[in-house]
């Protein structure tokens, strides 16, 4: 916002200056031999500057309603804090040759720097061309920190050299998305070679950007509404603002490095696509910027968005108090393959809504300060085999509750290479089926329960690997109950070869397994350490019970 306000102020000042100059007779250029001096002059008719005359800008030169053409070999010398501003239908065409550059330089080597060449939004980009030019020693204005400053205009800048700027080399702000920028060299600048709004970055073509104080492309405004693909450079893209995709596709090439400031991240909104498709030998990396201790807010896929993340490294993210996760996916289904999500300040991945990706596999999710994945109950079925080891909590967190805990269709929770699923809140199976794979272990949070409601089925068959229901803390009554409601499936519920322990703490439900006039099959299970009964049956309940072992249930094993 500070940059935008500054732009408004600058344009206002320029307009005021222009009006003031127009109200008076413009100051005339002074010629002394082959040298012409300009001070606060407005060029308002077409001119051509030849190479046999030196032009010295003493302070400010304005070009409006006219085009200034500068011939090959010409030298334009600018004194300290001098500038050239192109405005109000003005234009500047400086086309040199490979052997005869047009040169914009200091008047004397020892002087302070000149300010900038400013191209305003009121000019025609076709009439602003710099080809084979040299810009040396500019960028002295801290409010407009670049040797060439473009505002909502798309000039042509080809095969030029921008050197020794006291700030950035070039700044492209607003919509400069038709700019032609290729074959340029930017070197020796006291800041970055290029700063730009994201919409313009796709037009920054090949060039040489070395020996600057910070060799990166600084992105100022990340909002885009049309498709763009970022070129690959031998330097990072540094995002100082959130990247927001609105109905647009952003494509990143293999080998690209993206760095984000602390309060920034990347959000794909509805009807947007984020393509981060790389290769094993040329991955894409998304990380925090060094000046923010490498903390940023990660990726978000909002409802109706899509994308592909393949062979990417996403690290040092999740610094977000709302949903601390490196990748947040909400009612969207991007594919996620062959990638590393690591060193995050929260979860690796947070899933909500409906997530049905084409693929979610072969990822490494490690060294995060919370669980590798936090998922709502319906999305656990999408968690294929990935490497989930090395986090503070090596488990899958399953969020319960009326929305996140609802299962209303056929759902399987797979056996993954994690020791435990941790249930945070209650799970409700309503008009759906939950199948627990053999060998999985569920740790229930305090007062959480599993409730099988209308038409619901819970199938936990541990015949090829015991299924465990236990509490996060191993104390009687820590969690609630497995409740089979009267309206649950009369024949589809099964608990076989399960360990069920440390529950029975549900208010008004005096049993760790509560059968409310229902008929589940409960066989070969170990049922123990309930704060109340092991199994509680209401009148009319007829569970099928066989070969179960009861142990240390405080109110009794079976009622009645």
Provide the CATH number for the domain around residue 535. Answer: 2.160.20
pLDDT band at residue 380, thresholds of 50, 70 and 90?
A: very high
Cα gap 76→130, rounded to integer Å: 13
Final residue of a structural domain among 342, 373, 394: 394
Q: Does one domain contain both 49 and 111?
A: yes
The domain total for the chain is 3
Q: Does one domain contain both 30 and 163?
A: yes
Residue 1 pLDDT > 90? no
Residue 254 CB-density burial (10 A; 0-12 exposed, 13-18 middle, 19+ buried):
middle
Q: Does one domain contain both 344 and 441?
A: no
Average pLDDT over residues 238-266: 96
- Which residue in 354, 492, 511 sits closest to 434, CA to CA? 492
Q: Does one domain contain both 334 and 454?
A: no
pLDDT digits (tens, 9 = 90+) for 463-484: 999 999 999 999 999 999 999 9
Instruction: Report the SS3 class of residue 531.
Output: coil
Q: Does one domain contain both 8 and 155?
A: yes
Asked whether residue 557 is domain-assigned, the answer is yes
Asked whether residue 227 is domain-assigned, the answer is no
Half-sphere exposure of 173 (CA within 13 A, CB side): 22
Final residue of a structural domain among 220, 244, 264: 220
Range of the domain at 268: 233-394
Number of Cβ within a 10 Å radius of residue 395: 19
Asked whether residue 225 is domain-assigned, the answer is no
Final residue of a structural domain among 220, 245, 270: 220
* Bridge partners, 551 (sequence order): 528
pLDDT digits (tens, 9 = 90+) for 293-321: 668 999 999 999 999 999 999 999 988 87
Q: Does one domain contain both 435 and 303?
A: no
- Rounded to 5°, the CA angle 148-151-153 comes to 95
Q: Does one domain contain both 150 and 198?
A: yes
Q: Does one domain contain both 210 and 257?
A: no
Asked whether residue 448 is domain-assigned, the answer is yes
pLDDT band at residue 3, thresholds of 50, 70 and 90?
A: very low
Q: Does one domain contain both 354 and 417?
A: no
**pTM attached to this predicted model:** 0.90
Residue 336 pLDDT > 90? yes
Q: Does one domain contain both 255 and 384?
A: yes
Structure tokens at 73: 């070999």
Q: How far is CA 501 from CA 138, 308, 345, 393, 400, in A?
A: 74, 42, 33, 22, 19
Q: Does one domain contain both 528 and 470?
A: yes
pLDDT band at residue 28, thresholds of 50, 70 and 90?
A: low
Residue 75 pLDDT > 90? yes
Asked whether residue 125 is domain-assigned, the answer is yes
Average pLDDT over residues 134-152: 96
Asked whether residue 228 is domain-assigned, the answer is no
pLDDT band at residue 9, thresholds of 50, 70 and 90?
A: very low
pLDDT band at residue 122, thresholds of 50, 70 and 90?
A: confident
Q: How far is CA 98 from CA 54, 106, 113, 133, in A?
A: 20, 21, 25, 9
Structure tokens at 132: 């084979």
Q: Does one domain contain both 44 and 173?
A: yes
């Amino acid at each position: 916002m500070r940059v935008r306000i500054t732009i408004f102020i600058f344009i206002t000042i320029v307009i005021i200056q222009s009006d003031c100059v127009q109200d008076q007779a413009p100051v005339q250029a002074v010629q002394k031999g082959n040298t012409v001096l300009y001070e606060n002059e407005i060029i308002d008719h077409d001119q051509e500057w030849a190479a046999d005359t030196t032009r010295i800008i003493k302070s400010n030169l304005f070009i409006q309603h006219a085009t200034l053409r500068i011939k090959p070999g010409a030298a334009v010398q600018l004194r300290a804090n001098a500038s050239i501003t192109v405005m109000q239908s003005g234009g500047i065409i400086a086309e040199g040759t490979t052997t005869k550059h047009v040169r914009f330089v200091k008047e004397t080597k020892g002087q302070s720097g000149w300010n900038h060449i400013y191209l305003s939004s009121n000019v025609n980009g076709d009439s602003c061309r710099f080809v084979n030019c040299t810009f040396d020693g500019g960028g002295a204005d801290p409010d407009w920190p670049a040797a060439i400053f473009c505002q909502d205009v798309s000039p042509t800048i080809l095969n030029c050299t921008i050197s020794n700027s006291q700030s950035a080399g070039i700044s492209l702000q607003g919509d400069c998305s038709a700019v032609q920028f290729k074959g340029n060299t930017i070197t020796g600048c006291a800041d970055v070679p290029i700063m730009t709004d994201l919409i313009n970055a796709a037009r920054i073509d090949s060039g040489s950007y070395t020996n600057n104080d910070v060799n990166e492309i600084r992105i100022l405004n990340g909002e885009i509404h049309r498709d763009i693909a970022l070129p690959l450079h031998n330097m990072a893209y540094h995002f100082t603002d959130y990247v927001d995709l609105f109905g647009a596709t952003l494509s990143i090439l293999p080998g690209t490095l993206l760095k984000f400031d602390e309060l920034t991240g990347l959000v794909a909104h509805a009807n947007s696509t984020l393509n981060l498709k790389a290769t094993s030998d040329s991955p894409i990396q998304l990380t925090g910027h060094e000046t923010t201790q490498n903390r940023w807010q990660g990726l978000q896929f909002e409802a109706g968005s899509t994308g592909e993340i393949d062979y990417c490294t996403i690290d040092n993210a999740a610094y977000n108090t709302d949903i601390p996760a490196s990748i947040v996916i909400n009612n969207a289904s991007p594919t996620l393959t062959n990638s590393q999500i690591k060193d995050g300040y929260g979860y690796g991945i947070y899933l909500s809504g409906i997530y049905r990706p084409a693929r979610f596999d072969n990822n490494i999710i490690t060294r995060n300060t919370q669980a590798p994945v936090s998922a709502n109950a319906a999305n656990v079925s999408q968690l294929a085999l990935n490497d989930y080891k090395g986090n503070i909590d090596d488990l899958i967190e399953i969020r319960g509750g009326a929305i996140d805990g609802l299962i209303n269709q056929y759902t399987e929770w797979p056996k993954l290479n994690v020791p435990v699923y941790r249930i945070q809140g209650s799970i409700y199976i309503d008009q759906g089926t939950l199948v627990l794979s053999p060998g999985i272990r569920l740790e229930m949070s305090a007062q959480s329960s599993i409730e099988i409601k209308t038409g619901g089925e819970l199938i936990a068959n541990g015949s090829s690997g015991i299924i465990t229901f236990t509490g996060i803390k191993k104390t009687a009554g820590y969690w609630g109950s497995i409740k089979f409601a009267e309206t649950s499936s009369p024949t589809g519920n099964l608990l076989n070869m399960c360990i069920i322990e440390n529950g029975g703490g549900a208010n008004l439900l005096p049993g760790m397994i509560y059968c409310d006039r229902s008929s589940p099959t409960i066989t070969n299970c170990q049922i123990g350490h309930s704060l109340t009964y092991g199994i509680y049956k209401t009148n009319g309940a007829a569970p099928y019970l066989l070969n179960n072992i009861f142990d240390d249930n405080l109110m009794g094993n079976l009622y009645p």
